[in-house]
């Protein structure tokens, strides 16, 4: 039984535990500015042919739920990493393109380059945590997260970006924003409820993950946000290799890697594909593989999501992965989240 938490009780853990107030602050600051309203009206009237959703790292993965929402609303939307947009999709910089750019710092190398190349060709909606950054100051409309200062690995900035992106989607899709605000209001207490038991979650996961060498995170639909970001933060926090992919992709080859040293974290996700994800989880177990299912009512409390509106599930789904990063660090006796080779803001392409 894991009993020594001293190695993990640092600034990264404090950022994780500070997520509920960050969500409250972000929700309190959400409003529809005049410019944002004008861009939404232009989109609704068909003045924009394409919506390009762009970012890097967790900022990119956070766009999955919005991408699905826009497509289901009948809009033409695509997700493109900012680096790929700059060099291989540059024809998308066009007056008929609306760009939604997410960057926590608002000043990463790719974002600065995007602003230089675009120069007013496309309208830009910015989501950032830094009010006086190049992205915030040069975008047509800016929505700020209120995550405050963050030590290293994205946690507060990621969940608050998800909140803002949910808000933005409901603005441009003309949903009832009073209902949106009410649903988003449930995020902070749900996160607080889960994190209240963080030590027990870390203990349980440390036992589950004992002796693993390969970690897969798999899901479908909006869960791809947690899948992609989860694999990224495990690598950043713990220097431990993890891979995120769709549940379907896992069956196309990586299933062959099942062994005592492989652990698969399966996200149950939305109802339309929940049975498929459940079946994958069961198939892994039948092959004597090691796996857990992340869902409401999951057998393991560390993987059980609080009961909450469906719209905020992407925020809740990252919480078990954050506990995984702490568990792996505790096993190794190292401080999680302290960068040794990289930095919080990526300034080189």
Query: Which of 155, 185, 215 lies at the terminal end of a domain, its last residue?
Result: 185
Query: Which of 167, 185, 203 lies at the terminal end of a domain, its last residue?
Result: 185
Strand order in the sheet with 214-219: 242-246, 214-219, 262-267, 290-296, 304-305
Tokens matching residue 117: 């190349």
**For the segment 156-173, what is each residue's pLDDT rounded down to a tens digit?**
999 999 999 999 999 999
Q: Are 11 and 337 in contact (CB under 8 A)?
A: yes
Burial 30-50 (b: 16+ CB within 10 A, else e): beeeeebeebbeebeeeebee
pTM: predicted TM-score of the whole model, two decimal places: 0.96
**Same domain for 204 and 302?**
yes
**Same domain for 280 and 254?**
yes
What domain range includes position 143? 31-185
Q: Consecutive 10-residue runs of the chain (349 residues): their mean pLDDT?
A: 82 97 98 98 97 98 98 98 97 98 97 96 98 97 97 96 98 97 98 98 96 97 98 96 98 96 97 97 96 96 96 98 97 87 76
Q: How far apart are CA 203 and CA 214, in angstroms?
A: 19
Strand order in the sheet with 141-144: 77-81, 50-55, 97-102, 123-128, 141-144
Q: Which of 35, 22, 24 is nearest to 104 (CA)?
A: 22
**Same domain for 40 and 175?**
yes
Q: Which of 138, 144, 136, 142 is nearest to 163 (CA)?
A: 144
**Same domain for 179 and 196?**
no
**For the segment 203-251, what is each residue's pLDDT rounded down to a tens digit?**
999 999 999 999 999 999 999 999 999 999 999 999 999 999 999 999 9
Q: Which of 110, 108, 113 is nearest to 129 (CA)?
A: 108
Domain containing 110 — which CATH number?
Answer: 3.40.50.10490
Residue spans of beta strands (DSSP E) within 222-286? 242-246, 262-267
283 in any annotated domain = yes
Q: Are 125 and 51 in contact (CB under 8 A)?
A: no
């Amino acid at each position: 039984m894991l009993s020594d938490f001293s190695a993990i009780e640092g600034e990264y853990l404090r950022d994780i535990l500070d997520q509920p107030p960050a969500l409250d602050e972000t929700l309190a600051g959400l409003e529809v500015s005049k410019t944002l309203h004008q861009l939404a009206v232009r989109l609704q009237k068909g003045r924009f042919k394409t919506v390009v959703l762009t970012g890097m790292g967790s900022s990119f993965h956070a766009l999955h739920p919005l991408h699905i929402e826009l497509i289901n609303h009948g809009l033409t939307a695509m997700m493109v990493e900012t680096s790929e947009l700059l060099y291989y999709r540059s024809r998308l910089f066009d007056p008929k393109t609306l760009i939604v750019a997410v960057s926590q710092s608002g000043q990463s190398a790719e974002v600065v380059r995007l602003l230089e190349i675009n120069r007013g060709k496309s309208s830009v909606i910015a989501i950032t945590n830094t009010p006086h950054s190049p992205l915030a100051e040069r975008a047509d409309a800016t929505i700020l997260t209120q995550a405050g200062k963050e030590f290293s690995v994205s946690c507060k900035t990621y969940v608050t970006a998800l909140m803002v992106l949910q808000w933005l989607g409901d603005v441009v899709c003309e949903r009832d924003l009073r209902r949106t605000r009410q649903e988003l209001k449930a995020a902070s207490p749900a996160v607080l409820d889960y994190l209240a038991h963080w030590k027990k979650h870390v203990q349980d996961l440390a036992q589950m993950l004992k002796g693993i060498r390969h970690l897969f995170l798999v899901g479908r639909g909006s869960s791809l946000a947690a899948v992609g970001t989860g694999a990224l933060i495990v690598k950043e926090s713990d220097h431990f290799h993890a891979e995120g992919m769709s549940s379907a992709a896992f069956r196309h080859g990586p299933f062959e890697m099942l062994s005592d040293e492989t652990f698969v974290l399966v996200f149950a996700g939305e109802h339309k594909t929940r049975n498929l994800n459940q079946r994958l989880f069961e198939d892994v177990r039948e092959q004597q593989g090691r796996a857990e299912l992340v869902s409401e009512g999951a057998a393991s409390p560390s993987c059980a999501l609080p009961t909450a509106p469906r719209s905020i599930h992407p925020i809740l789904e990252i919480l078990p992965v954050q506990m995984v990063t702490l568990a792996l660090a505790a096993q190794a006796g190292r401080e999680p989240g302290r960068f040794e080779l990289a930095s919080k803001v990526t300034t080189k392409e």
